A and B are shown apart, each in its own frame.
Chain A
Amino acid sequence: MAFVEHLTLFVLAAFLGYELITKIPATLHTPLISGTNAISGITLIGSVLVAGSGNTTLATVLGFFAVVLATINVVGGYLISQKMLKSFGRRRGD
């Protein structure tokens, strides 16, 4: 895809991210940080690509560590958000 198309996605997603968050109760700040943090683990896709392509040994080694770090981010991030939100729900008596 061309650079301009990527730039379009970037600008539109930036506005969307801003609009989605403007109204948020203070109690949800930490779970939201945790939840969006898990989404930023999307970099796992990039890690998978460089680790799996195996063009050079150095790139594969770097890719291996990138996959480990990103997977910790994704798996740990979603689990801890869920844990947080569960205790949050209990506190509210839902």
Chain B
Amino acid sequence: MAGLADGLPPETLQIAYLLAGVLFILGLQRLTHPRTAARGNLISASGMVLAVGATVLWFEILSPLVLAAALLVGAAIGTWLATTVETTDMPQLVGLFNGFGGGASALVAGAELVDQVGTAGTASDLSVTVTAAAGVTGLVGAVTFCGSLVAAGKLHGVLEDPIRYSGENVVKAVTLLAAVVVGVALVTQSPRFGPLQLGAFATPYWVLLALASILGVLLVVPIGGADMPVVIALLNACSGLAAASTGFVLDNSVLIIAGTLVGASGIILTVIMCRSMNRSLRNVLFSEYGGASAAAG
């Protein structure tokens, strides 16, 4: 805490985060009414500027050039994509952005693990809260990243048809189970898991990330293009939850508040969208092989 805001009382950052959280809530509230929606988006954007600005000014940045370069590159790409997109292509671009958010969360948790193992000396010094939250972030973040890429591709007309095969739910379940086992190895640090020890490179975390990435692809590939808006809505909720669990890893309140708001509102929106199609979420995600799809093809 020796950034540019040196000399301010230590509570300043938390107050700034609280204000940002309030702005997100007000913005979200206004986004639900047609007349105030555009204003709500601006309110929420001002909350983001406040939260990010306070963070950059508050903490000592040891590699300012790296940070500035990354911010510039990201802002340039984001602006370019958002301003050049055709109206009809907007949904897939939102899906793509959403995937990037989930991917960023997964990378942050990994980087923090690498950092903490580096400073703690031995992996067993890490608290269970940190490793467990990092595991959740990695799982949800990577599923969001890969799932969103597939979903955006389907909306864009690539891979539009659902890809189905017999026993697909078993394959998904086995992949999830493998990811959970690696997650347990990450959290418990038990020597029984052999090579899955948390070394300097946080190996089990990256294995978890790889499995979760495969799972993300497996989950979205069998779903038809027409159901993609619901899938994007659900993945949006996931990217929020990934951000929230990143907050647990980094001990950061505004990440938890904003991420959870997105997660909860995203889940309820997903349910509302399913209901308006007269279907259940389970039916959209896991409609059994041989059911509706066999009749269709």
Q: Hey, which bits of chain A sit against chain B, CB under 8 A? A: 1, 3, 6, 9-10, 13-18, 20-56, 58-60, 62-89, 92, 94
With a cutoff of 8 Å between Cβ atoms, the chain B residues found around residue A25 in the complex are 34
Asked if residues A28 and B101 are in contact (CB atoms below 8 Å), the reply is no
With a cutoff of 8 Å between Cβ atoms, the chain B residues found around residue A59 in the complex are 111-112, 114-115, 118
Asked if residues B56 and A10 are in contact (CB atoms below 8 Å), the reply is no
Please, how many angstroms separate the alpha-carbon atoms of A13 and B201 in the complex?
Answer: 34
Please, how many angstroms separate the alpha-carbon atoms of A88 and B41 in the complex?
Answer: 13
Binds A, one of B68-76, B158-166, B173-181: B68-76
5 tightest CB-CB pairs across the interface, nearest first?
A: A71-B74, A17-B264, A76-B78, A75-B78, A67-B70
For residue A26, give the distance in angstroms from its CB to the closest CB of chain B: 6
For residue B50, give the distance in angstroms from its CB to the closest CB of chain A: 11
**With contacts A47-B107, A51-B63 known, is A30 near B91, CB below 8 A?**
yes
Instruction: Choose among A13, A25, A60 the residue with the greatest number of B CB atoms under 10 Å from its CB.
Output: A13
SS of B interface (majority): helix
With a cutoff of 8 Å between Cβ atoms, the chain B residues found around residue A29 in the complex are 229, 233, 269, 272-273
With a cutoff of 8 Å between Cβ atoms, the chain B residues found around residue A42 in the complex are 24, 48, 51, 243, 254-255, 258-259
**With contacts A17-B260, A52-B62, A73-B101 known, is A68 near B246, CB below 8 A?**
no
| B195 interfacial by beta-carbon distance below 8 Å | no
With a cutoff of 8 Å between Cβ atoms, the chain A residues found around residue B283 in the complex are none
User: A39's contact among B28, B37, B66, B115, by CB below 8 Å, is which?
Assistant: B28
Asked if residues A6 and B81 are in contact (CB atoms below 8 Å), the reply is no
Interface residues on B, range: 35 or more
**With contacts A34-B94, A48-B55, A80-B90 known, is A64 near B66, CB below 8 A?**
yes
| B204 interfacial by beta-carbon distance below 8 Å | no
Asked if residues A71 and B28 are in contact (CB atoms below 8 Å), the reply is no
For residue A34, give the distance in angstroms from its CB to the closest CB of chain B: 5
Instruction: Choose among A38, A63, A69, A78 the residue with the greatest number of B CB atoms under 10 Å from its CB.
Output: A69
| B135 interfacial by beta-carbon distance below 8 Å | no
Asked if residues B82 and A75 are in contact (CB atoms below 8 Å), the reply is yes
For residue B233, give the distance in angstroms from its CB to the closest CB of chain A: 5
With a cutoff of 8 Å between Cβ atoms, the chain A residues found around residue B118 in the complex are 55-56, 59
| B232 interfacial by beta-carbon distance below 8 Å | yes
For residue A15, give the distance in angstroms from its CB to the closest CB of chain B: 7
| B211 interfacial by beta-carbon distance below 8 Å | no
Asked if residues A45 and B252 are in contact (CB atoms below 8 Å), the reply is yes
With a cutoff of 8 Å between Cβ atoms, the chain A residues found around residue B6 in the complex are none
User: A72's contact among B35, B44, B77, B239, by CB below 8 Å, is which?
Assistant: B77
User: B101's contact among A23, A37, A63, A78, by CB below 8 Å, is which?
Assistant: A37
Specify the chain B residue showing the minimal Cβ separation from A94: B35
With a cutoff of 8 Å between Cβ atoms, the chain A residues found around residue B268 in the complex are 17-18, 21-22
Specify the chain A residue showing the minimal Cβ separation from B81: A76
User: B90's contact among A3, A62, A84, by CB below 8 Å, is which?
Assistant: A84
With a cutoff of 8 Å between Cβ atoms, the chain A residues found around residue B29 in the complex are 20
Apart from A9-B253, A9-B256, A72-B74, list 4 A-B contacts with CB within 8 A.
Answer: A32-B32, A39-B47, A42-B259, A47-B108
For residue B81, give the distance in angstroms from its CB to the closest CB of chain A: 5
